Amino acid sequence: MTKPALTLEPTFRSGLEKKVAEQLEKAGVAYAHEAKWVRYIVPEREAKYLPDFCFDTEKEVCPIIIEAKGRFGGGNPRFKQSNSGDSAKERQKLILLKEQHPELDIRLVFERASSPIYPKSPTSQGKWATDHGFKWSDKGIVPQEWLDEITAWHLSRSKTVATPIRKKRK
């Protein structure tokens, strides 16, 4: 007799990531949470990026990636991330990824898009995203249009929507 497969539940780094995951699950959209690294070059060094949500199948890479952003460079002390000084690095990382991986469609889900990109900045997170050509949404909500696009991508590759891949981060 075979044992049932072990299912690993993802560990979310923020309440916003969990909120996005719940919306994806409710919509029946298959996703993997922080399941793959995307390599990119920071001037003078190679770096890796771990997207919050990707929608690959076992055989194909979905170009859409969703990044849940409570704030740029805000971090979470539970994960030993800095709370200051990383805002510019976080924005630079997204710009470098967009330039070096034009095949990816990186979309941002902000908790509050009207928040400044750094204290006292006249530029909001939403304006920054628009200025740099990123699709974005506000209030931690994944737009239905995005869910439909992801579902359509999966349907175009199989007869049924794939079971969500819930891989734990390696």
Q: Is residue 132 part of a domain?
A: yes
Q: From CA 139, how far away is CA 38, in angstroms rounded?
A: 26
Residue 163 located in a structural domain: no
| Structural domain count, the chain | 1
State residue 31's pLDDT score: 92
Query: Would you say residue 160 lies in a domain?
Result: no
Within-domain flag for 3: no
> Do the domain assignments include residue 51?
yes
In a domain, 88, yes or no: yes
- In which domain, by residue range, is 26 found? 15-155
Q: Is residue 2 part of a domain?
A: no
Question: Is 169 inside a domain boundary?
Answer: no
Taken as a whole, the chain contains a residue count of 170
24-47 confidence digits (pLDDT tens):
999 999 999 999 999 999 888 889
We report the CATH number of the domain holding residue 75 as: 3.40.91.30
Model confidence over 102-157: pLDDT tens digits?
999 999 999 999 999 988 899 999 999 999 999 999 999 999 999 999 999 989 88
